[in-house]
Amino acid sequence: MATVTYRQALRDTLRAEMLRDEDVFLMGEEIGVFEGSYKITEGLLKEFGPRRVRDTPIAEEGFVGAAIGAAMLGLRPVVEIMTINFSLLALDQIVNHAAKIYGMFGGQCSVPMVIRTPGGGGQQLGATHSQNVELFYSFIPGLKVLAPSTPAEASAMLKAAIRDDDPVLFLENLALYNTKGEVPDDVTPAEIGRAAVTREGTDVTIIAYSRMAHVAAEVAEKLAADGVSAEVVDLRSLRPLDRETVVASVRRTGCAVIAEDDWLTYGIGAEIAATIQEGAFDWLDAPVRRVAMAEVPLPYSKPLELAALPSAESLVTAVRDTLAATGRR
């Protein structure tokens, strides 16, 4: 068991999977000579050569399409798109091709590819470089969408994604790259589509994913000091969605607060809220509350950016308001 950064866990997993399977190769913008914008692919070009670590032009639609073709012919490409914002340029390839080929061809051809891409605000990168648009992809049947929050989860879920026969969008939040955690020496691939109860509690369920899973854990610790027992559910997978774990947790606590880094309207949280309404309505002691980003293009100004992003303070307030509505506290 080693303590490594989220960034290092990703790099180590890519290397291990490339050593394990010669069909696994990497492609993306500046991943070779420059070793990646976030240094995830550091040293891999030197070790594996340009045949398996391929620098691409700044042409997302083109190289994602090339990866789809390679996957259809039996290879396992792992594509790095510099940020999720740039994936919009490849939306047609991802939505109309990668997600549809298996079904449209009657299962004759699969597309075993992974698209790794970071998103999230808080880095002063401006409105067009700081979005969380995972909802676009979570909405599409035929895609799998993963959003691990810890180095151990990043490693286990990336292994599972690379070995999966379906196209997988692998979401990384920029704020997580330097976070540290223990990763087993021999990582077992995760079960895709399974959420994790990372903290047990009895008073309220906090549901989150990616960066907000860390915020939820921080809030749960703070609330515990005040006698509030919060259960934390880390979704980990946005599609497929582990509705059963969410519903079971809310049935135990009777309250739910959802925390997400995207916009409130039509967001991932809206789908979770609908899931709770359908599966745990009779167990609810208060309305489901959601904490999300302000409904604005994210400002560049640091104070305004921080004000727009969901915070531990806003989540604490939502939990306290929820518990107050129950009459229990």
* Residues designated catalytic: 60, 129
Burial per residue of 153-169, b for 16 or more beta-carbon CB atoms within 10 angstroms, e otherwise: bbbbbbbbbbbbebbbb
Which among 273, 321, 269, 316 has a CA at the least distance from the CA of 293? 269
What is the Cα–Cα distance from 7 to 9, expressed in whole angstroms?
Answer: 5
88, exposed or middle or buried, with CB in 10 Å at 0-12, 13-18, 19+? Answer: middle
Number of helices (H), then strands (E), belonging to the chain: the values are: 12, 14
- DSSP SS3 for 180: strand
Residue 206 β-bridge partners = 232, 257
- What secondary structure letter does DSSP report for 225? T
Which among 193, 40, 234, 209 has a CA at the least distance from the CA of 134? 209
Give yes or no for a contact between 233 and 208, defined as CB atoms under 8 angstroms apart.
yes
